[in-house]
């Protein structure tokens, strides 16, 4: 979601005539799009903006801004902490950023143009804008037409906000209540992307499979497919029907929204990629209840079994929090045992991080940081072993890969993803970006596969 929002802001600025620069010291505008899910993310953003203060002293006309979730949660108080900060723009105002940047740039340049050359007092150049108010209909999409024509993948936002109020999560405060775009609007955006060469689309939402539950009716009953078809499955059907689209993904769902009609979609929609990211959070029923996660570990395991039964070879990944308030050794063992039993293809493991204005932050029995870290490392060891086994099973096989571009670790190689979302790296003997082809897998490490393209 944050990647998509950053793309939106960049595209809106490019449309105004701005250009990307490779180094922040060459920039007229530096914007940090922030996350508030964990404290570490906020501290990194604050630290980065603090370091940019040195640049602000030598180039007072440069515009600096915070966008996104931390901006939404903290608002004007950020201006008090950071003297050179000019913009604080919340999660529902990304479409306003270009206007605000133009305004601040113009005013700063006007003052600098008449100011004494030795002027370094930032108070004289403080044209701060803070906008974190909710605005309905802020999900309009801006696509920069100068993007590479062989862009292989794209994110498409289908909804914003969350009504679940998990006790550890700040998202309902930073993203607001659930609100969904129409199927026709989303399908139109996907068709435009496909016309530009995009072959894979990922549908985004805070709880993506609860899409449209308040705005749109369920579909009529279809023989053999349950009593009704949810708005989300209706959306999957509409997007899957778009000519030229090769792959369809979505993230992130919630176990309670994973109904039989969605499981059935994996068995009948061939464009729906064989990968589900399904957050678990904890394997302890007591902790799940304290988290306000309305399912049990047993129900979660049954759901994973149904998903795997619907599409052979499907990859299942997850999110897990260790060290939630009150988590005992027994609670952690329940999580550990469930993870070993389910054998995920991969997982993101997080140490619980208190978020202000969430119920969990004020709970008693906060877990010591050293114990959180020990559990985190222990669980990572289990996940890494499971990931390695899943990858090693593919050595000696052929897998379908969509090439996305150069490898992040070696620009001389290209990388792509399998339908199960596994990274494959191969030699860049010819330009294959945006193409789909088979790769013979020769070896695997913990997180990536390596092989040779087959023509």
Task: Report the length, in residues, of the chain.
Answer: 455
pLDDT(23) > 80: yes
- Domain edge (last residue) among 131, 164, 195: 131
* One domain for residues 155 and 193: yes
pLDDT per residue as tens digits for the range 337-388: 999 999 999 999 999 999 988 999 999 999 999 999 999 999 999 999 999 9
H or E, element range at 44: helix 39-51
pLDDT per residue as tens digits for the range 133-182: 877 655 555 555 544 556 899 999 999 899 999 999 998 888 888 999 99
Q: What is the CATH number of the domain that holds 428?
A: 2.40.50.140
* pLDDT score for 120: 43
pTM of the entire structure? 0.87
* One domain for residues 153 and 66: no
Detail the DSSP E strand segments found in 24-77: 29-34, 63-68
* One domain for residues 7 and 127: yes
DSSP string over 148-212 = -TT--EEEEE-EE------TT--HHHHH-S-EE--HHHHHHHHHHHHHTT--EEEEE-TTGGGTT
Alpha carbon distances (Å) from 48 to 32, 45, 51, 52? 9, 5, 5, 6
371: Cα separation from own chain's centroid: 28
* One domain for residues 379 and 291: yes
Count up the domains in the chain and report the number.
Answer: 4
- Domain edge (last residue) among 273, 295, 326: 273
Task: Tell whether 306 is covered by a domain.
Answer: yes
CB neighbours of residue 224 within 10 Å:
6
Task: Tell whether 143 is covered by a domain.
Answer: no
- CB-CB contact of 38 with 350 (8 Å): yes
Q: What is the CATH number of the domain that holds 290?
A: 3.30.750.200
For residues 328 and 452, what is the distance between their CA atoms, to the nearest angstrom? Answer: 48
Cis peptide, bond prior to residue 162, ω within 30 of zero = no
H or E, element range at 54: helix 53-58
Question: For residue 249, what are the domain limits?
Answer: 148-273
For residues 401 and 99, what is the distance between their CA atoms, to the nearest angstrom? Answer: 40
**Which residues are paired to 89 by β-bridges?**
67, 131
Q: Rounding to the nearest 10 degrees, give the CA dihedral for residues 39, 41, 46, 47.
A: 110
* One domain for residues 265 and 315: no
* One domain for residues 312 and 297: yes
* One domain for residues 290 and 383: yes
């Amino acid at each position: 979601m944050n990647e998509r929002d950053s793309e939106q802001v960049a595209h809106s600025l490019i449309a105004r005539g701005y250009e990307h620069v490779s180094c922040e010291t060459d920039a007229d505008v530096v914007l940090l799009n922030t996350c508030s899910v964990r404290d570490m993310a906020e501290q990194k953003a604050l630290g980065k903006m603090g370091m940019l203060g040195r640049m602000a002293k030598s180039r007072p006309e440069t515009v600096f801004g915070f966008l996104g979730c931390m901006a939404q949660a903290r608002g004007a108080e950020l201006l008090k902490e950071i003297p050179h900060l000019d913009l604080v723009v919340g999660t529902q105002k990304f479409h306003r950023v270009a206007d605000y940047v133009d305004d601040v740039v113009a005013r700063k340049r006007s003052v600098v143009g008449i100011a004494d050359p030795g002027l370094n007092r930032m108070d004289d150049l403080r044209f701060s804008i803070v906008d974190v108010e909710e605005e309905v209909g802020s999900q309009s999409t801006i696509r920069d037409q100068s993007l590479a024509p062989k862009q292989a993948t794209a994110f498409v936002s289908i909804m914003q906000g969350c009504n679940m109020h998990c006790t550890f999560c700040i998202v309902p405060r930073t993203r607001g209540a659930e609100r969904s775009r129409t199927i026709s609007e989303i399908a139109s955006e996907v068709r435009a992307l496909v016309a530009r060469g995009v072959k894979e689309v990922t549908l985004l939402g805070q709880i993506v499979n609860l899409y449209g539950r308040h705005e749109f009716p369920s579909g009529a009953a279809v023989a053999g497919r349950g009593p009704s078809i949810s708005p989300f499955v209706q959306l999957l059907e509409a997007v899957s029907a778009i000519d030229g689209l090769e792959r369809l993904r979505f993230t992130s769902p919630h176990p309670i929204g994973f109904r039989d009609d969605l499981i059935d979609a994996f068995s009948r929609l061939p464009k729906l990629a064989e990968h589900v990211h399904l957050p678990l959070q904890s394997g302890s029923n007591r902790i799940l209840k304290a988290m306000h996660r309305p399912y049990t570990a047993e129900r979660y395991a049954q759901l994973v079994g149904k998903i795997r039964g619907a599409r052979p070879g499907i990859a299942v990944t997850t999110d897990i929090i260790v060290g939630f308030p009150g988590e005992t050794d027994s609670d952690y063992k329940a999580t550990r045992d469930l993870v070993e039993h389910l054998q995920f293809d991969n997982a993101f493991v997080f140490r619980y991080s208190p978020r202000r204005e969430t119920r969990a932050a004020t709970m008693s029995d906060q877990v010591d940081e050293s114990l959180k870290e020990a559990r985190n490392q222990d669980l990572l060891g289990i996940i890494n072993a499971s990931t390695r086994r899943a990858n090693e099973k593919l050595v000696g096989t052929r897998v379908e890969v969509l090439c996305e571009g150069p490898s992040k670790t070696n620009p001389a190689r290209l990388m792509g993803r399998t339908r199960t979302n596994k990274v494959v790296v191969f030699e860049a003997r010819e330009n294959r970006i945006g193409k789909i082809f088979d790769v013979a897998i020769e070896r695997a490490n913990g997180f990536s596969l390596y092989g040779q393209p087959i023509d």
